[in-house]
Amino acid sequence: MIGIYWLSGYYNNVFLKSRSQELGCTILSTLAGTCVFFALALINNVEHRRMIIYLNTAYLWGLLFVIVYAGRSIITAYVRREVYSGKWMRNTMIVGDGDAAEVMASRLRDESQWSGMRILGCLSADDDFMHQVEVRRLDCLVVMPHDGDATVAMDIICRILPLGIDVLTPPDLYRMLTSQMRIDKIAGEPLVNIGHARASESSLNVKRLCDIVLGL
């Protein structure tokens, strides 16, 4: 079951989980595990009365779901409380020189309790991003448009992506990079994460498992 929960992608990101996504993930992963046990019961054929097997399978899924989801809800509530209190925050800086960068920094700073972001200030295009990431221990950078100059923004993004942290941009800047949009709402502000693949967490884990199996 732990392996199934890992494949579902639940353990990849522990901060600010969506309640609806957590519920759906738990339902599907416990159902998948239950189906495995159901298949084993049919293969072993320990009970000839099929209705008993169906009932036991339903009981098993109910137990798995209730116990697992209750535990996850407690952990999620604790994490949210730590984030809202300001103990667990993601160090974030805005990359931009214009008014839009200042407005975004102010907006995210005011909503830090809900976004989980600790806004440390703004950076310009000439700053040493690697140095800032190491010194300030940054978890995320928000790249804002530079007076409509896509060349400057692209140069900044190319310098940031190898650092391995989250890179968020407004949707209009993201359209310059790709037509496939995946928008996250941070404190009510639409931002696009371009720092990581757009695949779901479960897809990434399944792919990783296939890589290991095929590699062996």
Three-class secondary structure assignment of 17-65: CCHHHHHHHHHHHHHHHHHHHHHHHHHHCCCCCHHHHHHHHHHHHHHHH
- For residue 129, the model assigns a pLDDT of 87
Give me the phi and psi of 42, to 5 degrees please: -70, -40
Retrieve residue 34's tokens.
Answer: 């239950």
What is the rounded distance in angstroms from the CA atom of residue 30 to the CA atom of residue 25?
8
Provide the pLDDT for residue 190: 53
Residues 6+ apart with CB under 8 A from 123: 93, 94, 95, 96, 129, 132, 141
The whole-number pLDDT of residue 211 equals 92
**Residue 19: CB partners within 8 Å, gap ≥ 6?**
76
Name residues of the chain where pLDDT drops below 50: 179-181, 183
pLDDT of residue 181: 46
At position 64, the amino acid (one-letter code) is L
Q: Please answer whether residues 176 and 151 qualify as being in contact, where contact means their C-beta atoms are separated by less than 8 angstroms.
A: no
pLDDT at residue 46, rounded to an integer: 63
Position of tokens 């200042």? 102
Per-residue pLDDT at 107: 86
pLDDT of 184 reads: 56
Q: Are 79 and 18 in contact (CB under 8 A)?
A: no
Q: Could you tell me which residues are beta bridge partners of residue 93?
A: 141
pLDDT of residue 189: 56
Q: Is the pTM of this model over 0.85?
A: no
pLDDT for residue 180:
47
pLDDT of residue 88: 83
